[in-house]
Structure 1
C-alpha cells in the first residue's frame, strides 16, 4: 500500500533530486563527506563525526553482510514506478534490510548522541536518503524501516565501548590559596607554537595578560621566578610544565592548544576564555598527578606495544598525516608484537601491554576515554595477559564486543602505587604520548593533590 502510494505521486523536480541523493549515499560516501565537514569543528561535532563513522561500520556490516544473507527478499518490480524515477543501475542484492537506510540512521543517530544540534541538521538528510530508496523503487517500505532500526541500534551500541562525551569536569580537591593575577602580573607562560593544528596562541595570550612573561619550551629548564606557571600546548608540553609547577608548588594556568587536550578536557577547561576568567577571579582546584621513576605524567603511561607505535607514527606522520600514520603504526605493532615477561607487584606474568592512568578512567574495558575524578589518589592499571591460550584473539574479540572486563586475559586494578620489573633487556616507557628512557624497573605512584590549577 505504501509502495503504491509513493509510486502514484505526480512527477516533480524532486524525482531527479532524490535519484541523485540516493546515488550519493552509495557506499556511505555522502556520510564520509558530512563527517569531514563536522570534523572541522571541535568537541561534540568532531566526536559526533567519529562516532557516526564507527556506527556506519557496524550498521553496514549488520545489514549487508548478515541481514541480507539471512533474509533474502526480491526487490520491487521496476514497472511499479514511472521510468523517470528509476535508477539507471538497480542493485541485485537482497532487498531486506536497506543498507542505505541502516547507514543513514546510524550516522544521524550517532551524531545526535554527541551533538543534538548537529543531529537536528543531519536527521532530515538521513530521512531523505532512506525515503529515496522507496521513491526510486529499489526497496519496500519495510526494508527501510528495518534498515533504520539496525542503524539506530548500531549507533547506540557504540556507547558500550565508547561512552558519550561528558561535559562535566572531573571532580577535584578544593583550593583556597589561589590569588587573582590582574593582567597576568607574576605569570610566566610556556608556549609550544608547534602543538596542535591551529595558529600560534602567543598573540592571544599577550593580549589577555599584557603583564605576563611568555617564553618557549626551550626555556623550560631556566624559568624565572613566578607567582604561577602557564602552559599553552599539547599534553606532552602540559606534562613538562605541570612537573615544574608541582615541584615548585606553583599553580598552573592551562591554555589548551594541542590536538586532543585530554588533560584540559578532564580538568574542565575548553579554551583561553575559561582560564582567563579563573585567573581574574583567583579560583581553582588541586588535582592528582602521577609519577614513574620520578617522571611526572598527567594522563597515562604504558609499556609494551604503545611506545613502539609512537615511534613508528612519528616516522610516518610527516608523509601521511597524524591519524593515517597512527592507524598504520598500530597495524604494524600488532603484527610484530611480542609478549613481555614482567613481575607486577610480586606476580609474574607474560603481558602484551600494560597501561597506567593518572586517576580512574572509564569505561572499564581497554578503551579508556574519560576521567570522572582527579581526587582519588589512585592509579588506573590495566594489562593484557599473554600466558592464556589464544590470548591475543580473545583480547581482540573482547575489545570488539565491549566485554573485556569479563575476560580472563584482561586485568584492571586501581591502586595507589605499582612496582613493575621487566625480565629481559631494558624497554621504553611512554608517558603522555612521549617515549622516555629505557629501564627494567618501573615504580609508579599517585601523588594526591600535587598540582594546583586555575579553573572556573
Structure 2
C-alpha cells in the first residue's frame, strides 16, 4: 500500500513540475502584471467581498447569491487554511522556477496544499451560480483566473489549485444543508378572487419607510406607477385615511406593522419589497414593484396566514431568549460598525452571557436557551429556518433548544455546525395552531420580525388563518 501511494505521489509531483514548467515557459506579456494584481486582490477574499457587495445591491437571486457566496467562503477558507494546510504540509514551488517579473513581492510561507485562494474563489463562484446561473457565468471566469494566478505567480503547484477548487465547490454545495435552494417558488396560499382593481392606484394608500433596506427611496417609482395613490410615512400610520387597499414599502418590521392594520380593517395589502432581505415578500412570491403593479391592475391576489403573540401581529417569526438581547446590542453598535459587523459582535456577546429560560409551554415545564415561533411551517427542520413552503395551513412552527442537559450549549452548537440539529436531543420542533408560554422569573422581552417588543411573563401565540388579503400575480 505504501509503495502504491508513493508511486502515485511521484507521478503527481512529476505532473506538477511539467505543468509548472509549461507555465513558466510562457513569454513575458502584460498578463504577468495582471495576474499579480488579481492574485493580490483576492488576498483575504477582499475581491469576493467587493463583488458580493455589488451583487447585494440587486434583488432576488443576485442578493441571495452574494450571501450564499460569503457563507461558502467561510466554510472553504476554514477547511483549506485551518484544516487542509495543517494536515498536508507541502513546500511551495521554488521561487527561481519563474521569472522575477512574475513573482509576488511577498511570498506566502504556509503549506502549499491546498490553495486557499482557489478554495475561496471556487466556493464563491459555485455558490453564486447555485442561486443565479447568470451571475455565476460572470463570476466563474474571474474565479478561474484567480486560481490560475497562483500557479502563474509561482506560489502554488497546479494540484494545490485543483484540490483547493474541489474544497471550494464542496463548501458551496454544503451550504444547501443549512440554506436550501428552491426559495424562488412562492409559498402556497388561499385562493382569493375578490380584490379590487386599482387603476392608477385610485384608493390606494402606501406607507413608505425610506430608511429600510440599502437601496434608494422607492417613493418616486411608486408615484410614477400609481399617480392617484397617496404616499405616507411610517410615522403617519395612526392617522391613515380611508382606503380601498393599504400598501407598504419597507422591511419586514414595517410590513408587519402595516399588515396588522390591514388585517384588522379587512383591507387588502399591496406589498412593495424594499427592505434588506424581504423574507415575507419572498415567501409570498413578490420580487419587485413590477409583480405588485400587475396584480393591482388585474385585481388578483391571495389570502395568507398571519400570527399573533398577545396583541402583537407578526408576519415571519417571534422569539424568546437571546435574540431580543442581540437586537438591542446590535442597535447600539451598528451606528459605529455597520449592521452586519454589529450583528456578529452582538451575537458573540449574547452567546457568552446567555442564561437558560425557565418556562412552561402548554403546561409542560422546560429549561431552554431559545424559543422560536414561526408564522407557518419553516424549512429546513434544523435551527436555521430560511423558507416557507406554505402560508395556508393555520399552523405555528415551534422550535426550542433544551438547556437541561450537560454541555447542552456545546451540543447545540455542534449540531447546528454540522447541520444535524434536527436529530439532536437538544432540539425540539413541532407545529401547532396555538401555544401558551409562561416565563418563570423576571419579565423578559420578545422579538417579532426583528423588532424588540414589550417585556412580559405570559405569551399567547396563535395562528390567524387567512387573515390577510394580498395582491399577487
TM over 0.5: yes
Count residues with an aligned counterpart: 455
Aligned-pair distance for 1:379? 0.5
Any gaps of 5 or more consecutive residues in structure 1? none
Measure, in 2, the Cα distance between the counterparts of 1:406 and 1:169. 28
Measure, in 1, the Cα distance between the counterparts of 2:225 and 2:419. 45
Aligned-pair distance for 1:302? 0.7
Structure 2 CA distance for partners of 1:347 and 1:286, relative to 1, 3 Å: same
Aligned-pair distance for 1:57? 1.8
Determine helix, strand or coil for the equivalent of 1:348: strand
Aligned-pair distance for 1:446? 0.7
Aligned-pair distance for 1:175? 0.2
Measure, in 2, the Cα distance between the counterparts of 1:304 and 1:280. 44
Structure 2 CA distance for partners of 1:302 and 1:10, relative to 1, 3 Å: same
Measure, in 1, the Cα distance between the counterparts of 2:397 and 2:68. 25
Aligned-pair distance for 1:56? 1.6
Measure, in 1, the Cα distance between the counterparts of 2:84 and 2:338. 36
Aligned-pair distance for 1:455? 0.6
Does the CA-based 8 Å contact 1:375-1:449 persist in structure 2?
yes
TM score, norm. by length of structure 1: 0.95
Q: Does 1:264 align with 2:281?
A: yes
Structure 2 CA distance for partners of 1:109 and 1:418, relative to 1, 3 Å: same
Q: Which residue of 2 aligns with 1:205?
A: 222
Question: Runs in 1 of length 4+ with deviation above 6 angstroms?
Answer: none
Determine helix, strand or coil for the equivalent of 2:389: coil
Aligned-pair distance for 1:46? 2.3
Aligned-pair distance for 1:312? 1.7
Determine helix, strand or coil for the equivalent of 2:398: strand
Does the CA-based 8 Å contact 2:383-2:421 persist in structure 1?
yes
After TM superposition, the structure 1 stretch with the greater mean CA deviation from structure 2, 402-411 or 14-23, is: 14-23
Determine helix, strand or coil for the equivalent of 1:413: strand
After TM superposition, the structure 1 stretch with the greater mean CA deviation from structure 2, 63-72 or 416-425, is: 63-72
Structure 2 CA distance for partners of 1:6 and 1:380, relative to 1, 3 Å: same
Structure 2 CA distance for partners of 1:218 and 1:53, relative to 1, 3 Å: closer
Structure 2 CA distance for partners of 1:31 and 1:233, relative to 1, 3 Å: closer
1:67 corresponds to which of 57, 64, 84:
84
Cα displacement string for residues 103-138 of structure 1 (whole angstroms, at most 9, x for unaligned residues): 211111111112212211111111112112222222
Determine helix, strand or coil for the equivalent of 2:210: coil
2:320 corresponds to which of 298, 303, 306:
303
Does the CA-based 8 Å contact 2:79-2:167 persist in structure 1?
yes
After TM superposition, the structure 1 stretch with the greater mean CA deviation from structure 2, 91-100 or 381-390, is: 91-100
Q: Does 1:346 align with 2:363?
A: yes
Aligned-pair distance for 1:33? 2.5
Any gaps of 5 or more consecutive residues in structure 2? 1-18
Measure, in 1, the Cα distance between the counterparts of 2:176 and 2:276. 23
Cα displacement string for residues 394-425 of structure 1 (whole angstroms, at most 9, x for unaligned residues): 11111111111011111111111111111112
Determine helix, strand or coil for the equivalent of 1:289: strand
Structure 2 CA distance for partners of 1:31 and 1:229, relative to 1, 3 Å: closer
After TM superposition, the structure 1 stretch with the greater mean CA deviation from structure 2, 163-172 or 374-383, is: 163-172
Determine helix, strand or coil for the equivalent of 2:207: strand
Does the CA-based 8 Å contact 1:38-1:49 persist in structure 2?
yes
Structure 2 CA distance for partners of 1:304 and 1:3, relative to 1, 3 Å: same
Measure, in 1, the Cα distance between the counterparts of 2:82 and 2:217. 47
Measure, in 1, the Cα distance between the counterparts of 2:30 and 2:220. 52
Cα displacement string for residues 364-396 of structure 1 (whole angstroms, at most 9, x for unaligned residues): 111111112111111011111111111111111
Structure 2 CA distance for partners of 1:12 and 1:183, relative to 1, 3 Å: closer
Determine helix, strand or coil for the equivalent of 2:123: helix
Cα displacement string for residues 117-162 of structure 1 (whole angstroms, at most 9, x for unaligned residues): 2211111111112112222222222111111111111111111112
Cα displacement string for residues 242-300 of structure 1 (whole angstroms, at most 9, x for unaligned residues): 11211222211112222222111111112222111111101000000111113211111
Aligned-pair distance for 1:72? 2.1
Cα displacement string for residues 54-83 of structure 1 (whole angstroms, at most 9, x for unaligned residues): 212211221122222222222223333333
After TM superposition, the structure 1 stretch with the greater mean CA deviation from structure 2, 104-113 or 199-208, is: 199-208
Query: What is the root-mean-square deviation in Å for CA atoms of aligned residues?
Result: 1.7
Structure 2 CA distance for partners of 1:142 and 1:244, relative to 1, 3 Å: same
Does the CA-based 8 Å contact 2:57-2:215 persist in structure 1?
no
Determine helix, strand or coil for the equivalent of 1:341: strand
Does the CA-based 8 Å contact 2:122-2:168 persist in structure 1?
yes
Aligned-pair distance for 1:165? 5.8
Structure 2 CA distance for partners of 1:246 and 1:68, relative to 1, 3 Å: same
Structure 2 CA distance for partners of 1:234 and 1:13, relative to 1, 3 Å: closer
Aligned-pair distance for 1:99? 1.7
Does the CA-based 8 Å contact 1:44-1:165 persist in structure 2?
no
Measure, in 2, the Cα distance between the counterparts of 1:358 and 1:451. 13
